[in-house]
Structure 1
């Protein structure tokens, strides 16, 4: 892949929240506790940033005028994920990422999919264990610079794993609970780059985040008013502006019993 393309992808993965205006988190829980955890991200706005900084001719020169549709298996990246823990590698090994990119149509989408075998693994996934440093480091080795190449350092910023980590997540048979961890929230908000995030939030910018959970049986209780239940109460949906979390994380905590 071309050098500029690899750098742009590194930036996107490091600070995708700046360009990502819609995230769909889709969770399916089977009766035996296994299931799938999928995150779909639409980063179409990043295309405009690329066009602004590089220009149409430069993008064409780098070969980015062609459409890209590819799938990456994370088991091929595990060994290169130097910052990933053994726990993260176990969560990532069966996962995959589907990437679609089309400059002309302003399309840039990333779909991350992780099957899991038990509720403990789902608890780790919902806590951001597979979407943080480990995964980002692995992807940088694929899309980032090769040895000997000189590229500008990618900007730093929180990823979805950081946002998820401010909650204590508890998953048991019949229970899904997310509660704010005050200490982790304070540490998160004290990070220097969060000042920019607060400015984005105050400017009216939205990052639409939708969580959909398919339960193995009907929900008995859902205590957050933002949660919507399907007619059979087996599908739970919650949609909100992720940036509101910066000011009021308790608003998006919940307990679901089923």
Structure 2
């Protein structure tokens, strides 16, 4: 089982550099300010990369020709998340992740589900301060891999995680308001990281990370200010679809204000 996660986590951590994949961010806000934050990642196209990276026979030898379907409770791994603050651990403790993998059917999915208790919790999740950051990534490596092995994997580039992309925005979530504005200082710091040159090369070559955000509001939206935002007929569901990599060139395109 540990060898399975060795391959899975190596691929997942480096996912930005190897193929197209899809992310669906689903947010539900209830009238009392509680709700759920769900991220669904479909990385089926990475199966071919794994077959190339490890080889068919090696995958079979390590049992990766079997079908895997498992649920990981975050509360069982937070003790090893040394880079997470007590506040972040409290935010994540009731979360879970469902992982499905089937080499034969080219299925590779990771669905993360985190309930939050108030709008401040949602604000932190949307800001990349929860399960998308390096603290959780390191916890996964410590739980299923070799904590002494370090971050680098032979032949695999090191890249940013989802929290890095979310972190370039200042997010405000209040009763009746969701706002996301570009933090120019954080954006500049991200784009100046050495590995971002590789990311821009992928962008220019047509690479896409298809990202969809769906927000279910407790009441109808009154006003939105971004043309990429689509409203349902009753105006209670907000949907945004875009290529996440476009954030590198024009992050302001994905800033928005939603009043409801």
Instruction: Output the TM-score relative to the length of structure 1.
Output: 0.95
Partner residue of 2:181 out of 179, 182, 193: 179
Kept in 2: contact 1:26–1:38 (CA 8 A): yes
1:51-87 Cα offsets, whole Å, 9 max, x none, are 1122211110110000100000000001111111112
Measured in 1, the distance between the counterparts of 2:95 and 2:20 equals: 21
Kept in 2: contact 1:14–1:155 (CA 8 A): no
Q: Given the alignment of the two structures, is residue 138 of structure 1 paired with residue 139 of structure 2, yes or no?
A: yes
Pair 254,147 (structure 1): closer, same or farther in 2 beyond 3 Å: closer
Q: Which runs of 5+ in 1 are unaligned?
A: none
- Give the 4+ runs in structure 1 shifted more than 3 A: 146-149, 151-155
Q: Given the alignment of the two structures, is residue 231 of structure 1 paired with residue 230 of structure 2, yes or no?
A: no
SS in structure 1 opposite 2:226?
coil
Partner residue of 1:240 out of 242, 248, 254: 242
Measured in 2, the distance between the counterparts of 1:119 and 1:84 equals: 20
SS in structure 1 opposite 2:123?
helix
Q: Which runs of 5+ in 2 are unaligned?
A: none
How many angstroms does 1:6 deviate by?
Answer: 2.8
Q: Given the alignment of the two structures, is residue 96 of structure 1 paired with residue 96 of structure 2, yes or no?
A: yes
1:11 alignment partner in structure 2: 10
The Cα RMSD (Å) is 1.7
How many angstroms does 1:137 deviate by?
Answer: 1.1
Kept in 1: contact 2:65–2:103 (CA 8 A): yes
Task: Give the count of matched residue pairs.
Answer: 256
1:104-144 Cα offsets, whole Å, 9 max, x none, are 11110000110001000000000001110111111111221
Instruction: Output the TM-score relative to the length of structure 2.
Output: 0.94
1:233-252 Cα offsets, whole Å, 9 max, x none, are 00000000111111000000
SS in structure 2 opposite 1:224?
coil
SS in structure 2 opposite 1:25?
strand
Alignment of 1:31-110 (within 5 A): 31-110=31-110
1:212 alignment partner in structure 2: 214
SS in structure 1 opposite 2:233?
coil
